[in-house]
A and B are shown apart, each in its own frame.
Chain A
Amino acid sequence: MNASLRPALLLVIATAALLASASTTHAQDAPAGNGSTSSAQPLSARPTVEDRLGDKDARFFAHATGTWLIRNDFYDSPGYGLDAGYYFNERWGAELRVLRLHSTLSRAGKTVLQQSGLAPDLRAPDVWLSAGVRTSVGYAKILLWDRFVTRFDPQLVAHAGVLFAEERIAPSVGLGPGVLVHLKWDLQVKFDLLLTANFERRQRGITPAFGVLPTLSFGWSPPRGGQR
C-alpha cells in the first residue's frame, strides 16, 4: 500500500468507527430489523443485540402504587395511589399521580403529644397530587441469579404538584431516579426514588420540608391498536 494512502485509509476507518458508535446511541429509538448484527448492513443501521421486548412508544400505562413518604417529620406516612400516563416515544413520557397517605404520628411524636400536648408544626400529609415527566435514559437486559432474565429502563422522573396536609395545602416537587421493569404480557413493575420538597406555610412562615418518596408500582401498558 502506498504510504501516501495510509493516512486517508486511517481517516476512513476512523470515520466509520465514529458513525458506528453514534448509531449505538440510538439503539432504543426503533425496533431492530431481523435481529443479529451483520457486517452486510449499511452503516446507518444501529447494531441490535436482540429485538426490544418491552417498547413504550405511543402507549398508555396505568400503575397501582405503594409508597412511604419519609421526611423525618415525626409522622409515619405510608400510602397507596395510582399513576396513569403516556409515552410519546421510547424516551419521553408524562404521567399523573395521586397518592393517598395514611399518616399517623410516629411513636416519638405520640409520646410528645400525649405528655405535653405539643405536635410537629408540619401537618400530617394526606394526599399528594402531581403531574410529571419521565425519561428513559437507557434500556437493558440483565440476568438475575443465573435464572431470571430481566429487561428494564433506567429512568429519571420529575414531578410537581400539591400536598394536602390536614387543613394546609403545600406546593410540592419531586425529582429522582426510577427503574421500569418490563414483564410478560405487557405488565410492568416500576420503582421510583424521588427526593421531595414540600413548601408548607407554618406559623413561622413557608418553610421547606425535604424528604424521600420511594414508590413501587405494578401495572399494565395496553398494546397499541392492532399489535399483538
Chain B
Amino acid sequence: MALYRLHILLLTLGAALGAGSCSFVDFETSPYAPRALQAVYSEHDDLTYLVWRIADVADPELLTYELWEDGELQPIDLSDAPMPSEPFACDRLYLCLQYQVSGFWSPPGNGTALRATHKRFGPIPSAPVRPQQITASFEIAPVATANNRFADAGLFDVLSAINLPHRRTFEWVLVDTQPGEDDAPCASPPAEGWQRLSDRVELPQSWTDNPPCMAVRPRRSDQPARHIVARLEPGPVLHVAELDHSIEAIRHPTHIAFLVDLQVTNAGRCQQIVDAVRQTILSEFAEEQKPVRELGVYYPRDRQGQPTSGCDQATSIDYPINDILAEGRNAMADEVERSALTLVVINNLQLTATPEKLAQLQAFNAATELPDAPYSFAWLVGSEASYPGITWSWNTPWQALESRDFEPPLRAAVRYIFPLTSTPPLENYELELPVPPGSRTPQYLKLCQLLPLPTTYIAGRREYPVNAHQLEWPTGELPRLRYALTTTEFAYYNDFYGGSIEVVYEVCDAFCDNAFQGRNGLTYGSWLNAPNACQWGAP
C-alpha cells in the first residue's frame, strides 16, 4: 500500500513539473549544422575546393568533421588541407570553413557528404552538396605599374567570381623568356625563389631591358601547386604635371575730379558740403589703401565763361568738362595702364540742368571712346532726375550733411568700385606647358583635366584640336594651349573675377603604346590608344 502511494506521489509530482514546464520550443537549423556545402573541381589545379558554412554564433572549436571519401565518411582535419584557413566570416551571418581534396571529388549518390560532430550535441549532417566544375581557379594578366618599378599580377580569382568564399594565398616568380622572338614562350619557373604575391610586387631594376615572364600559383602546404605564366611587358613611363594658372588682373589707376554744382545760399555752408564729400571719398581711398590721384575741384561757368562759386545754380550755365578731360589725359600720361577718370558731380537740387550742362556730360561719357583717352566714370552725388538722358556709372542719392546716411554710401562705393579692373585680351590666350618633373625625353602628352576647355593644342608649328587622338610633344620648344575666353574690361573691383586655368597633363617618355593601370585600378591595353584615360586619375 505504501509503495502504491509513493508511485502515485511520484506520478503526481512529475505531472506537476511537466505542467509547469513550457518553453514554446520551435526547431530551427542548428547553428552548428554545415550549410550550403559547395564543391568546385578545378581541372587546372586538379583539386576539389570544398566550402561550407556554420552560423557565426557557433563556436567552430566544438566541431569535428567527417567527409565522404572512398565510399565512407572519414574524419578530416581542416588544418591538414592543402590550403588551410581559419574559419572566416562570410555571407553576413555565417562562418565559412574550407577544405580541399586532391583530384575530382564526387559526393555520395544518396547520403551525407559531410558530417559535423559537436562535442556536446553529437553528429549533425550537412545539407546536400552543390558540385561544380571549372577549367582553372585563377587567371593572371600582369601589368607593370609606377613607371615599371612594380607589377600587378592582374590576378582574377575565379572562385570569387563563382561566389565560392575561399581563402588562399598566391606566390610569384619572374621567369626568363626563351631567346628569340618577342612573343617567345616563357621558360619553366624555378622550384625556388617564389615570393608571396601582394597587390603590388616590386620588380628588379633594369628588367625592362629584357622583359621576362611572371609565374603565379596558389600556395599549397603539401606540394607545389600548378602555376600560370604570362609575359610581363614594360608599362609606359609617365610623368604628370598639374598647373593652376591664374589670369592676371589689370588694376586701372584712379584719377578723380570733383565738379560742384550746388544751390546753397550760405557760402560757408556750401564749402562745408564740398569738403565733406571730397574728404569722405578721399579718406576712404586712403583707409582702404587704394591709390588715387585727385585732379582737383571744378566749378560751373557763367555766361561769360567765368567760373562761378558752385553754390548758386542760377548763375551757372555749363561745366568745364574739356578742362577736366584735358587734365585727365595729362595725368594718364604718367601711368602704365589706362586710367579711370572719375568725375564726381555734386548737386543737391532736383532741378533739370541746362542743355549746356547735359551736353557737356554727354561729351564726358563719349570721351571714353577716344584713343588715348582715360576711361570715363561719371559718379553723381545727387538726383538723376536733374540730368535727363545722362548715363551715370554710379549714383549716390543726396543726403543732408548731418544725416547718419551721408558718409556710408560714399565709402561703400569707394570700396566696391575702385580700382576698376580688367583682364588682358583673352580671345586668343595661350598657356605654355612646362616639362613635368622627372620627365627627360617626353614623346607624347595626354590632357587629363582641363578647366576651362582650350580650343587648340600647339606643338611647334603644328596645331591640334585638344581632343585629338594623339598629342605629340614638340622638339626644341614647349607646347601651348590656346583658349578663347571672355575679356573683362573696367569691372568693379568687387565684381571682378579674372578666372584661373587648371590643366593636368601627363607626358610619356617611353613604352607609350603599352598597357597601363590607372589609379582607378582598371588596366588599359595601350596608353597611347586610350585617349580618355590617364594613369593620373580616373578618366
Contact with B along A54-78 (1 / 0, CB 8 A): 0000000000000000111110000
Residues of chain A from 88 to 120 with CB closer than 8 A to chain B in the complex: 103-105, 109-110, 112-120
Task: Decide: A122 near B127, CB < 8 A? Known: A70-B17, A113-B121, A167-B57.
Answer: no
Q: Is the CB of B23 within 8 A of A113?
A: no
- Closest chain-B Cβ to A124's Cβ sits at a distance in Å of 7
- Measured between alpha carbons, how far is A5 from B190 in the docked complex, in Å? 128
Total number of A-B contacts with CB less than 8 angstroms?
Answer: 97
Partner of A212, one of B20, B121, B124, B127: B20
Contacting pair A72 B25 (CB below 8 A): yes
Q: Does B28 contact A (CB under 8 A)?
A: yes
Asked if residues B27 and A104 are in contact (CB atoms below 8 Å), the reply is no
- List the B residue with the shortest CB-CB distance to A194: B20
B174 to chain A, nearest CB (A): 49
Q: Is A207 an interface residue (CB 8 A)?
A: yes
Docked pose: A15 CA to B265 CA in angstroms: 123
A210-B33 CB under 8 A given contacts A110-B122, A114-B123:
no
From the candidates B21, B26, B57, name the one contacting A121 in the complex (CB within 8 A): B26
Q: Is A195 an interface residue (CB 8 A)?
A: yes
Question: CB-CB < 8 A to A166: which residues of B?
Answer: 57, 59
| B121 contacts A122, C-beta separation under 8 Å | no
Query: Interface digits, B13-30 against A, CB 8 Å rule (1 contact, 0 not)?
Result: 000011011111111111
Is A203 located at the chain interface by the 8 A CB criterion?
yes
Question: Are A72 and B18 interface neighbours, CB within 8 A?
Answer: yes
C-alpha spacing A226/B140, complex, angstroms: 87
Give bound CA distance, A94 to B24, whole Å. 32
Assess the B28–A203 pair: CB atoms within 8 A: yes
Bound together, the chains give a CA A204 to CA B28 distance in angstroms of 11
B120 within 8 A of A: yes
- B400: min CB distance to chain A, Å: 80
CA distance A207 to B29 in the complex (A): 18
Most buried by B among A72, A109, A120: A72
A208 sits at the interface (CB 8 A)? yes
Q: Is A12 an interface residue (CB 8 A)?
A: no
B125 at the A interface (CB under 8 A): yes
Cβ A209 vs Cβ B28 within 8 A: no
Within 8 A of A (CB), among B171-216: none
Q: Report A163 CB to chain B, min CB distance, Å.
A: 12
- Could you tell me if A119 and B125 are in contact, using CB atoms closer than 8 angstroms? no
Cβ contacts under 8 Å, A112 to chain B? 27
Please state if B120 and A72 are interface contacts (CB–CB under 8 Å).
no
B404 to chain A, nearest CB (A): 72
State in angstroms the CA–CA spacing of A167 and B62 once bound together. 13
Majority SS at the chain B contact face: loop
Contact of A117 among B20, B21, B127 (CB under 8 A): B127
- Complex-state Cα separation, A211 to B21, whole angstroms: 4
Number of B residues with CB within 8 Å of any CB on chain A: 27
Nearest-Cβ distance from residue B427 to partner chain A, whole angstroms: 73
Category for how many chain A residues contact B: 35 or more
Question: Contact mask A183-215 → B, CB, 8 Å, 1/0?
Answer: 000000000000100000011100111111010
Interface residues of B in 82-131 (CB under 8 A from A): 120-127
Q: Is the interface of A mostly helix, strand, loop or mixed?
A: mixed
Bound Cα distance from A112 to B124, whole angstroms: 10
- Set A72, A104, A116, A117: member contacting B23, Cβ < 8 A: A72
**Known: A210-B20, A210-B21. Contact between A120 and B121, CB under 8 A?**
no
Tell whether, in the assembled complex, residue B124 and residue A117 are in contact, meaning their CB atoms are under 8 Å apart. yes
Bound: A115/B34 CA distance, A: 13
Q: CA of A7 to CA of B247 in the docked complex: distance in angstroms?
A: 124
Are B20 and A195 in contact, with the CB atoms below 8 A? yes
**A105 contacts B121, C-beta separation under 8 Å:** yes
Residues of chain A lying within 8 A (CB to CB) of residue B33: 113, 117-119
Are A73 and B25 in contact, with the CB atoms below 8 A? Answer: yes
Contacts A110-B122, A117-B33, A117-B127 given; does A71 touch B26 at CB 8 Å: no
- Asked if A209 and B23 sit within 8 Å, CB to CB, the answer is yes
Indicate which residue in B30, B34, B126 contacts A118 across the interface (CB closer than 8 Å). Answer: B30
A208 to B20, CA, bound (A): 13
Q: Is the CB of A210 within 8 A of B22?
A: yes
Question: Distance in Å from the Cβ of B355 to the closest Cβ of chain A?
Answer: 95
Residue of B whose beta carbon sits closest to that of A204:
B26
- Distance, CA A120 to CA B33, complexed state (A): 12
Alpha-carbon distance A150/B17, docked complex (angstroms): 26
Question: In whole angstroms, how far apart are the Cα atoms of A110 and B30 in the complex?
Answer: 11
Q: Is the CB of B20 within 8 A of A119?
A: no
Chain A residues near B30: list those with CB within 8 A: 113, 117-119
The residue of chain A having its C-beta at the shortest distance from the C-beta of B16 within the complex is A212
Find out whether the CB atom of B27 lies under 8 angstroms from the CB atom of A120.
yes
Residues of B within 8 A of A103 (CB): 120
Select which of A74, A105, A118, A208 is within 8 A of B24 by beta carbon: A208
Report how far A114 CA is from B20 CA in the complex, Å: 29
Chain B residue contacts of A120, Cβ below 8 A: 23, 25-28
Nearest neighbor of A209 in chain B, beta-carbon distance: B23
- Which residue on B lies nearest to A126, using beta carbons? B120
Q: Measured between C-beta atoms, what is the minimum distance from A113 to chain B in Å?
A: 6
Known contacts A120-B27, A203-B28, A114 near B21 by CB under 8 Å = no
| A70 contacts across to B, CB distance below 8 A | 17-18, 21
Kindly state the separation between the CA atoms of A113 and B118 in the bound complex, as whole angstroms: 11
List of B residues within 8 angstroms of A214 by Cβ: 17
* Cβ contact within 8 Å between A114 and B124: yes
Instruction: Add 11 more A-B contacts to A117-B29, A118-B30 (CB < 8 A).
Output: A113-B123, A114-B122, A117-B34, A118-B28, A119-B28, A120-B25, A121-B27, A166-B57, A202-B26, A208-B24, A212-B20
In the A-B complex, the 3 residue pairs with the smallest Cβ-Cβ separation, listed nearest first, are: A119-B30, A117-B33, A209-B23
Q: List 20 A-B contacts (CB under 8 A).
A: A71-B21, A71-B22, A72-B22, A73-B25, A113-B121, A113-B122, A117-B29, A117-B125, A118-B27, A118-B28, A119-B32, A120-B23, A120-B27, A207-B24, A209-B22, A209-B23, A210-B21, A211-B23, A212-B21, A214-B17
